[in-house]
Amino acid sequence: MHEKRNIQIIEWEDLDKRKFYSFGVFMTMTIRATVYPATLIRTRLQVQRGTSLYNGTFDAFFKILRSEGVRGLYRGFMVNTFTLISGQAYITTYELVRKHVSQYSQDNTIKSLVAGGSASLVAQTITVPIDIVSQQLMMQGQGQHLSRFRINLESGKSKKVFGQTRNIIGQIFAADGLRGFYRGYVASLLTYIPNSAVWWPFYHFYAEQLSNLAPSDCPHLLLQGMAGPLAAATASSITNPMDVVRARVQVEGRNSVIETFRQLIKEEGGWGLTKGLSARIISSTPTAIVMVVGYETLKRVSLRPELVDSRHW
């Protein structure tokens, strides 16, 4: 039996796929560029020991800006743009799995949870090697002592970006072989599958609750834009401990998730599990707003023409 919902969910079969993918690439790129500085700060905070370099999110922001300039906040960004591929894989998997699960259950929570987890599994398989390289690039400059690898930051302008990238890739391969590009893969899955699986049900839950409280003529897109950050903050808080472990495994070249977790607790106690949480929430809030507003708008402009008049926004 179908659930009666205040906010209609546009499903995969309702979309014009050509429009969906064309606009989707632009949307994903916009999100990446918006939140990348917060992602870089979060990574440096999670990897540092105690407060050896930064005292928090805003302290890190101003120190990086002062010593490395705006470019310092975008170290590794060009490499990170390759995650556009995983972004498209994520939304495709999410929509297709939702459609498949709907054959067995009409419960939106179940559909969202299974589809979100599955989408994250596919996306992380593509993303982890890109993250490994971009994280090492993030550590260069002021925070390069936090990295296992070093690059020549004084290299010529013409080979600045790609020369450094090749340098890092070569060092990773020399140190760990091909498996080095999937270091922390299990930790990533343990972080992002639960995060994605939790985010979507909470997103729909908050959107429904807000729609029950709001006036009937309140735009649904506004309610969804508010629900996204609430879901992101909830999911980030739940999964942050594993995200700290993931960052250390990947940047420091560790092999054991459990041993990394134990050492973190031993050195910094339970407080260590919250490292980078504020930066993560700060980065996830604009991400969630842009993603939700962008994604819901993307789905609406991608609706098949015959369905446009049947939807109330």
Distance CA 109, CA 199 (A): 11
Q: How far is CA 241 from CA 46, 49, 78, 136, 246, in A?
A: 10, 15, 28, 21, 9
CATH code of the region 13-307: 1.50.40.10
Of the candidates 80, 42, 81, the one whose C-alpha atom is nearest the C-alpha of residue 64 is: 42
Distance CA 196, CA 191 (A): 9
**Residue 158 pLDDT > 50, yes or no?**
no
Distance CA 273, CA 286 (A): 23
**Residue 76 pLDDT > 80, yes or no?**
yes
Q: What is the Cα 200 distance to its own chain's centre?
A: 13
DSSP structural state of residue 48: S
Of the candidates 121, 249, 87, the one whose C-alpha atom is nearest the C-alpha of residue 180 is: 249
User: Residue 52 has what pLDDT?
Assistant: 73
Task: Give the pLDDT band (50/70/90) at residue 50.
Answer: confident
User: Residue 163 has what pLDDT?
Assistant: 67
**Helices 220-252 and 17-47 meet at what angle, rounded to 10?**
50
Q: What does the angle CA 187 – CA 263 – CA 248 come to, to the nearest 5 degrees?
A: 40
H or E, element range at 86: helix 84-101
Considering only 3-17, 105-119, 168-182, 223-237, which range has the smallest mean pLDDT?
A: 3-17
Domain boundaries, the chain: 13-307
Amino acid identity for residue 237 in this structure: S
Residue 13 structure tokens? 């079969």
Distance CA 161, CA 155 (A): 9
For residue range 171-195, what is the model confidence (pLDDT) as tens digits?
A: 888 888 888 888 888 888 888 898 8
* 5-37 as b/e: b if 16+ CB within 10 A: eebeebebebbeeeebeebbeebbeebbeebbb
Distance CA 24, CA 190 (A): 27
Give the burial class of 249: count Cβ atoms within 10 A of its Cβ; 0-12 exposed, 13-18 middle, 19 or more buried.
buried
Q: What does the angle CA 195 – CA 201 – CA 202 come to, to the nearest 5 degrees?
A: 80
For residue range 90-121, what is the model confidence (pLDDT) as tens digits?
A: 989 999 999 999 999 888 889 999 999 999 99
Task: Give the pLDDT band (50/70/90) at residue 281.
Answer: confident
**Residue 167 pLDDT > 90, yes or no?**
no
Quote the pTM value: 0.69
